[in-house]
Amino acid sequence: MAAQALALLREVSRLEAPLEELRALQSLLQSVPLSELREQAAELRLGPLFSLLNENHREQTTLCVSILERLLQALEPVDVARNLRVDLQRGLTHPNDSVKILTLSQVGRIVENSDAVTEILNNAELLKQIVYCIGGENLSVAKTAIKSLSKISLTQAGLEALFESNLLDDLKSVMKTNDIVRYRVYELIVEISSVSPESLNYCTTSGLVTQLLRELTGEDVLVRATCIEMVTSLACTHHGRLYLAQEGVIDQISNIIVGADADPFSSFYLPGFVKFFGNLAIMDSPQQICERYPIFVEKVFEMTESQDPTMIGVAVDTIGILGSNVEGKQVLQKTGTRFERLLVKIGYQAKNAATELKIRCLDALSSLFYLPPEQQTDDLLRMAESWFSSLSRDPLELFRGISNQPFPELHCAALKVFTAIANQPWAQKLMFNSPGFVEYVMDRSVERDKASKDAKYELVKALANSKTIAEIFGNPNYLRLRTYLSEGPYYVKPISTTAVEGAE
């Protein structure tokens, strides 16, 4: 089959308008194993196919791209880099975006190969074309170019090529295209900066990180909203957080939150700024962040009082992030009755809000209530029980009611709350004493879709693996849970049939 494909490829190279042959070749290649093509790699002559891309014929271009995608996989990245260098350069300036994406995908293969990457680094024109692809209208082309440059910068030689040559001027030139392209370049810079302190140093020396931070703390509220997302990504690394703290950026963000009440447009950027601190708290120390930046906690509580579902959603998400570890739970507990009132609001929203906000509330509650067995001290168990009882008059029934609604996402989110508390003795007693609850857990007919079956199985697993469950639920129910567990999430009970003599 590979031999047939090679014969067709040679035929294509001899003809001026080989549409029929291209169609036949595309069809044939679908059934040729890649291993066979690799055996014939030395015979593959792809130059004529690349030449056909230069003709203004849509179907011909589509066919060539499809064929090249397949054939290029048979070639080693180093061979692509050395033998198709000119074709790759042309591909990056081709008017058809599918050709650019094909070319960039090959660049991606090359930069991941230690033998081949030097071929790219020594090709200044090709690197320049990759940079200019960031400025194109097609988002897929831009994203693929960003990915390639990000991979190139993983090596010292790549960092030098990008930041210690004319390429940096090209990058700054591309940024001037428009706001969208400028943010794409920032995205690349943050991606590179996140790799290591050394990468961050190259990016800060270029002046582009400083430019991003200047825009973050500038007066344009829409720009702030976009920039905070990128700065939050940078803060996901230890060296990134250290840099932001040293530059006073975290203090500046805190000050902007302080002044937000006087800004009628603060709703544009406030959610992003609060998310920033939520992520910061969970990656460092919730207690230290909340003590150093009290405005953060204050603003989260304020946002739960908002009439704007967006603000409530961000506040609820942040509470969930903060309460995902014991230190964060203790920070929230220290706010006393204020947090209990907030829990009442979350309970109300979980029951009455729009579906998306309900799910966010349930996810936050799952995070708040979960305690790993090794952290279940008497104080923390009492705290969790007290929080649970603050949600409504009958929280267990509240979540059962939500789980019975005909929306799989809601059903799964409610089951997640039950799973979060399932290994805590006080919750097991509540479940056991709630009429019909044990049967509800055992009943497989409630769950119709895969996600729901998986969520129910996680609940059963959490209960069955708890050390206190046999004592609280009783041995017969414990054995039923173990049976459910051993049968797996998708077990269907066989229906027995009785044959009746003479029945049709």
Q: What is the pLDDT of residues 32-69, one digit of tens each?
A: 777 777 776 677 677 777 787 777 778 888 888 888 88
| Cα–chain center distance at 146 | 17
pLDDT: which is higher, 15 or 46: 46
**26-40, 91-105, 144-158, 361-375: which has the minimum mean pLDDT?**
26-40
**25-29, 154-158, 231-235, 278-282: which has the minimum mean pLDDT?**
25-29
Q: What is residue 9's predicted lDDT score, i.e. its pLDDT?
A: 60
* CA–CA separation, 410 and 399 (whole Å): 10
Element (H, E) at 286: helix 286-292
What's the mean pLDDT in 435-446?
A: 91
Residue 230 has which token pair?
A: 């990128």
How many other C-beta atoms are found inside a 10 Å radius of the C-beta of residue 300? Answer: 23
Half-sphere exposure (Cβ direction) of 489: Cα atoms closer than 13 Å: 14
Q: Which residue, chain included where needed, has tokens 């929203």?
A: 349
What's the mean pLDDT in 3-11?
A: 60
* CA–CA separation, 406 and 253 (whole Å): 42
Q: What is the average pLDDT value for the chain, to the nearest integer?
A: 89
Residue 351 has which token pair?
A: 């029951």
What Å distances lie between residue 406 and 85, 187, 447, 449, 459, CA to CA? 57, 40, 10, 11, 19
What's the mean pLDDT in 20-41?
A: 75
Does the structure show a pLDDT above 70 at 15? Answer: no
Name, in order, each residue with C-beta under 8 angstroms of 472's C-beta and a sequence gap of 6 or more.
Answer: 425, 428, 429, 432
**69-78, 86-95, 437-446, 471-480: which has the minimum mean pLDDT?**
69-78
Q: What is residue 216's predicted lDDT score, i.e. its pLDDT?
A: 94
Q: What is residue 483's predicted lDDT score, i.e. its pLDDT?
A: 95
Helix (H, G, I), strand (E, B) or coil at 88: helix
Does the structure show a pLDDT above 60 at 194? Answer: yes
**28-42, 71-85, 147-161, 209-223: which has the minimum mean pLDDT?**
28-42
What's the mean pLDDT in 123-145?
A: 92
* CA–CA separation, 134 and 140 (whole Å): 10
Q: What is residue 5's predicted lDDT score, i.e. its pLDDT?
A: 58
* CA–CA separation, 316 and 346 (whole Å): 8
Q: What is residue 16's predicted lDDT score, i.e. its pLDDT?
A: 62
Q: What is residue 12's predicted lDDT score, i.e. its pLDDT?
A: 56
Q: Is the dihedral of CA 25, 31, 36, 37 positive or negative?
A: positive
* CA–CA separation, 321 and 424 (whole Å): 21
Burial code (b: 16+ CB inside 10 Å, e: under 16) for 93-127 equals: ebebebbbbbbbbbbbbbbebeebbebbbebeebb
Q: What is residue 41's predicted lDDT score, i.e. its pLDDT?
A: 66
Does the structure show a pLDDT above 50 at 504? Answer: no
List pLDDT tens digits, range 164-185.
Answer: 989 999 999 999 999 999 999 9
Query: 372, 353 in Cβ contact below 8 A?
Result: no
Burial (CB count within 10 angstroms: exposed 0-12, middle 13-18, buried 19+), residue 74: buried
Q: What is residue 493's predicted lDDT score, i.e. its pLDDT?
A: 80
Taking Cα atoms as reference points, which of 144, 189, 148, 197 lies closest to residue 171?
Answer: 189
Q: What is residue 498's predicted lDDT score, i.e. its pLDDT?
A: 53
List pLDDT tens digits, range 281-318.
Answer: 989 889 999 999 999 999 999 999 899 999 999 999 99
Query: 154, 148 in Cβ contact below 8 A?
Result: no
What's the mean pLDDT in 108-132?
A: 89
Q: Kindly state the greatest CA–CA separation across the chain.
A: 91
Helix (H, G, I), strand (E, B) or coil at 263: coil
Please report which confidence band the pLDDT of residue 142 belongs to, taking 50, 70 and 90 as the band edges.
very high
Query: 301, 260 in Cβ contact below 8 A?
Result: no
Predicted TM-score (pTM) of this structure: 0.81
Q: What is residue 496's predicted lDDT score, i.e. its pLDDT?
A: 60
List pLDDT tens digits, range 232-288.
Answer: 999 999 999 999 999 999 999 999 999 988 989 989 999 999 999 999 998 988 999
Query: 22, 60 in Cβ contact below 8 A?
Result: yes
Residue 195 has which token pair?
A: 């790799």
What Å distances lie between residue 442 and 224, 225, 398, 471, CA to CA? 50, 47, 19, 18
**176-185, 444-453, 461-470: which has the minimum mean pLDDT?**
444-453
Q: What is residue 248's predicted lDDT score, i.e. its pLDDT?
A: 95
What's the mean pLDDT in 341-351?
A: 94
Q: Which residue, chain included where needed, has tokens 């929280």?
A: 395
Query: 295, 257 in Cβ contact below 8 A?
Result: yes
* CA–CA separation, 275 and 72 (whole Å): 43
